[in-house]
Amino acid sequence: MNNEYKPALLIIDFQEDFCPPNGALAVAEGRSIAPIINDLLRLPFVQKIATKDFHPPDHVSFASNHPEPHNKPFISFVTIPNPYNPDETEISRLWPVHCVQGTPGAELIPELDISRVHMVVEKGQDARVEVYSAFGAPFRNPVVKEASTGLAQSLRNAGVTDVFVVGLAMDYCVRSTAIDAVAEGFKTYVIIEATKAVDPSEEGWGKTVKELESAGVNLVGLAGEELAKVRLAEDV
């Protein structure tokens, strides 16, 4: 493979709790993208990484861990402070209990060809902070080291130059991961056929597309030149 071009594939949170029919936080048609992602796994990416939400039971994102009446999944929001700087805060939506460590809902779906995945990154293990991005918590002043996954360093160690992001969900964890990938210095793409949104409307998917483009993320298709370049790369 060309030393100047080393693409990686990030498969975000392709887990039972995010997929129909029984997921606690199922994304409509989320399971349907498995064949597309498995096809992508056959391409010569230098790193193929799957991520998992991997929460403790007392995680701050669970509506049930907050007092009434501000504990309604999908409806309630909470202001989460940086554990080391109360002046830095994030407003986050609250969710049903999902992807709890050691539960079936936290498992990657069996349709995913895990034999082709080089590494699994577990995120969201710090109960104090919400982590949508595969890289870590959104706080920067200071960074919450306990919530960082080490993904950026793993990609750099492999010489990765370009990052392709797929999985669930487009308007949350895919979005945040792609934006952080740009911030970490990688040329970044989201493959539109290989992701689904919690909210597929203009308010969800449409707004996310605009935010990604504004952040420097490239929205690409399976038939585009970006993946053609991956296909032409020498196998590893």
Residues known to be catalytic:
13, 123, 173
* Alpha-carbon separation of residue 88 from 77, 102, 105, 141, 175 (angstroms): 16, 32, 32, 7, 21
Asked if residue 90 lies in contact with residue 138, where contact means CB atoms within 8 angstroms, the answer is yes
Peptide bond into 178 cis (omega under 30): no
Half-sphere exposure of 210 (CA within 13 A, CB side): 5
Question: What's the one-letter identity of residue 147?
Answer: A
Tell me the C-alpha distance between 166 and 190, whole Å.
Answer: 6
Strands of the sheet with 187-196, listed across from one edge: 119-123, 47-53, 7-12, 162-168, 187-196, 218-220
Cβ neighbours of residue 121 under 8 Å, at least 6 residues apart? Answer: 49, 50, 51, 52, 134, 149, 150, 151, 154
Tell me the C-alpha distance between 49 and 10, whole Å.
Answer: 5
Tell me the C-alpha distance between 99 and 78, whole Å.
Answer: 19
